[in-house]
C-alpha cells in the first residue's frame, strides 16, 4: 500500500542531479524512501527527480547550492514545511577543483605551486558546505527516530594510505586541495559523530571507489550504481550500526 510522505523515510542527497549522488538517490527510491534530489541547478534537479518518479519512486527536486547560505536555509525551510523531518542526509556534493581531471592526476593541485583560491573553492564546497548543510538539517534530523548522516569522502582522504611512500597513492600526484579537503571531512565526520552519538544519529564517511563520472572525465572503472552502494549501506544502517567510521565497499578504511 502506498504510504504518505510522513510514513516514509525521507532522504536528502546533495549534488544528486548526476553521478554517484544521483545513483544513490535512485537506489534509495527503489528501497521505498522519499528522496529529495538536492541540485544547484533547478532544471537538472527536476529532470533527475522526474526520472526517479518515472521509475516508480517518490522524488522531489530541492534547489540547494551547498556554498550558498540562503539556498541552504531555504532548502531546510522547504523540507520542514513539506516533509516535517529528515531521516537521512547524504553529503555528496563535491568538486575536484580541477574540473574533470581526477585530482590525483591534476598538476594544478601540486602543493608547492597550487593556487590558493582553488584550495579555498574546494574547501568551500567539500568541507564548509558540509557543515552548512548538516547544521541547517540537524533540527529536522533530530525529529527522526533513526537519523543517518553519510559524508561522501574518498580513499584520497586517508592520511594512512596517502602518507605511505610505498602505498597505493605513491604513483599519483600530490594534491593540496581535493585530498586535504576530504581529510578535513574525515575529521568533521568524527567530530559530528562524537557530538551526535548521544542522540543516536549515526554519522559515517564513505569512499565510493574510482567511479565513472564527470568528475574524472569518465575514467573511473565502477558504475555510479556500484559507487553508490556504500552510501546506501550507510544510509540504511540499523540501530546497532557504527558511527564515526570510514568505509569502502570492502570494509573499514584507515583514517
- CB of 5 or CB of 254, closer to ligand NAP: 254
By beta-carbon proximity to ligand NAP, the closer residue of 146 and 222 is 222
Q: Report d(CA 213, CA 85) in Å as an integer.
A: 31
Applying CB under 6 A, which residues contact ligand NAP? 14-15, 17-21, 40-41, 64-67, 92-95, 125, 129, 152, 154, 207-208, 210-211, 213-216, 220
Please report, for residues 19, 78, 202, 224, 251, the alpha-carbon distance to residue 242 in angstroms, rounded to integers and kept in the order given: 26, 30, 7, 24, 12
Q: Which three cell numbers stand for residue 64?
A: 540547494
Residue 182 bears catalytic tag:
yes
Which is closer to ligand NAP, CB of 20 or CB of 89? Answer: 20
State the nearest-atom distance from the C-beta of 7 to ligand NAP, in Å: 28
Minimal distance, residue 72 CB to ligand NAP, in Å: 9
Would you call 192 a catalytic residue per the annotation? no
Minimum Å gap between C-beta 6 and ligand NAP is 26
| Cα–Cα distance, 22 to 26 (Å, whole number) | 6
Which residues, 6 or more positions from 69, have their beta carbon under 8 angstroms from its beta carbon?
132
Q: Which is nearer to ligand NAP, 8 or 223 (CB)?
A: 223
Q: In what order do the strands lie in the sheet with 246-248?
A: 58-63, 34-39, 10-13, 88-91, 148-152, 202-206, 246-248, 251-252
| Residues with active-site annotation | 178, 182
Amino acid at each position: 500500500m502506498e504510504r504518505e510522505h510522513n510514513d516514509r523515510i525521507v532522504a536528502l542527497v546533495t549534488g544528486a542531479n548526476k553521478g554517484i549522488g544521483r545513483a544513490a538517490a535512485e537506489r534509495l527510491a527503489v528501497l521505498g524512501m522519499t528522496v529529495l534530489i538536492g541540485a544547484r541547478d533547478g532544471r537538472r534537479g527536476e529532470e533527475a527527480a522526474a526520472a526517479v518518479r518515472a521509475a516508480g519512486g517518490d522524488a522531489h527536486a530541492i534547489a540547494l547550492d551547498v556554498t550558498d547560505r540562503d539556498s541552504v536555509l531555504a532548502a531546510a525551510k522547504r523540507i520542514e514545511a513539506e516533509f516535517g523531518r529528515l531521516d537521512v542526509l547524504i553529503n555528496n556534493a563535491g568538486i575536484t577543483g580541477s574540473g574533470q581531471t581526477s585530482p590525483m592526476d591534476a598538476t594544478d593541485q601540486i602543493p608547492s605551486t597550487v593556487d590558493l583560491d582553488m584550495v579555498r573553492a574546494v574547501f568551500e564546497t567539500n568541507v564548509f558546505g558540509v557543515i552548512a548543510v548538516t547544521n541547517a538539517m540537524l533540527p529536522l534530523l533530530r525529529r527522526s527516530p533513526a537519523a543517518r548522516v553519510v559524508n561522501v569522502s574518498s580513499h584520497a582522504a586517508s592520511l594512512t594510505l596517502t602518507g605511505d611512500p610505498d602505498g597505493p597513492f605513491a604513483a599519483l600526484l600530490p594534491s593540496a586541495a581535493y585530498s586535504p579537503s576530504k581529510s578535513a571531512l574525515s575529521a568533521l565526520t568524527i567530530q559530528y559523530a562524537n557530538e551526535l552519538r548521544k542522540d543516536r544519529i549515526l554519522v559515517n564517511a564513505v569512499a565510493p571507489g574510482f567511479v565513472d563520472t564527470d568528475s574524472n572525465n569518465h575514467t573511473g572503472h565502477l558504475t555510479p550504481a556500484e559507487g553508490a552502494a556504500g552510501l546506501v549501506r550507510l544510509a540504511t544502517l540499523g540501530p546497532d550500526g557504527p558511527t564515526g567510521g570510514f568505509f569502502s565497499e570492502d570494509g573499514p578504511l584507515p583514517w
